[in-house]
Structure formats: C-alpha cells, structure tokens
C-alpha cells in the first residue's frame, strides 16, 4: 500500500474493523554481551479481545495505545515502506485439518475461487521493529495504482 496513506489506512482499519491482536518484535540485533542475534525479540504480544487499539502520531513519532494507555512508541526515524496487508486463508481438506493458501504476486484478492479470509494482518517495519495488527475476517481493499505492471499493485483500505 502507498506509504503516504499509511496513517489514513491505520485509522480506517482501527475504526472500521475489529483488531484482535497486536504483535511487535525487533528485527534482530545485538545482545548486551555484543553477540549478534538474527531472531527478533518480542516486545508486545497483546490479545485485544474486548479492548481498543488506538494510535497517536506526533512529531516525536507514533504511539500505539491499548485502552488509551501507551504500549509502544516508534520514533519513525527508520521507516522505508508502506503497510502491507496479508490474508490468512484456509483451504478445506479431506482430513478436516485444512491447508493454508499462499498467493503469489498478481493474484486478485477477491478471486471467487479462494476461500474467504479468516484473518487480515496489517504489517510494517518501523525503526527496525516489525509491527503486526491482526483483524478478524477480511479488511477490504481497492486497487490504487500500479507499482510495476503486470504483477505489482498498490492497494488501499476501504
């Protein structure tokens, strides 16, 4: 999704869809002993059932809040790309377990042959931290513009 629409998209998602999880982790780094670790450390992992996720963006950065209480502050000094949105789709199988569907680029997210998403995940990387906000069901999208024809499209939240 276009970066310039990030905070509009975030506001739309939080106002129109039910957020059910907030997850934030760093993207690897150095431990206190100076040793590099590739895996990220979880900073926030909150179930939002019955709670309200909000945000405030100021000159000093982005503040994420649960029930009006600040839970994380991003300075937004290292912020390169816009949000992405991923759908979790499970294809029923004969054994009843189901199989997750992974789509390649250029696939229409509204293809009638695909099962309806169980979950939508809004993701970005701010200041070397992955932030992922999950929503129940489908967060609706609309085509915005081409990034690279014929496979890469920009979408916008509606």
Task: Quote the pLDDT of residue 153.
Answer: 76
Who wins on pLDDT, 68 or 108? 68
Mean pLDDT of the chain: 89
Cα angle, residue 11 at apex, residues 71 and 142 outer, rounded to 5°: 135
Task: Quote the pLDDT of residue 94.
Answer: 82
Give residue-wise pLDDT tens across range 122-134.
999 999 999 999 9
Mean pLDDT across 141-145: 85
- Number of neighbouring beta carbons within 10 Å of residue 75: 11
Short-list 133, 129, 134, 154, CA closest to 144: 154
Confidence check: pLDDT of 121 > 70: yes
């Amino acid at each position: 999704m276009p970066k310039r629409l990030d905070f509009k998209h975030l506001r739309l998602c939080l106002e129109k869809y039910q957020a059910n999880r907030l997850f934030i982790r760093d993207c690897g780094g150095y431990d206190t002993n100076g040793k590099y670790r590739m895996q990220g450390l979880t900073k926030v992992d909150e179930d939002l059932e019955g709670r309200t996720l909000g945000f405030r963006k100021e000159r000093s950065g982005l503040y994420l809040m649960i029930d009006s209480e600040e839970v994380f502050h991003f300075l937004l000094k290292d912020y390169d790309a816009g949000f992405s949105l991923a759908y979790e789709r499970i294809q029923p199988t004969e054994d009843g377990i189901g199989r997750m569907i992974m789509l390649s680029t250029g696939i229409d997210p509204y293809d009638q042959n695909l099962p309806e998403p169980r979950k939508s995940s809004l993701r970005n990387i701010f200041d070397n931290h992955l932030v992922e906000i999950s929503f129940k069901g489908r967060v609706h999208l609309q085509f915005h513009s081409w990034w690279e024809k014929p496979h890469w499209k920009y979408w916008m939240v509606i």
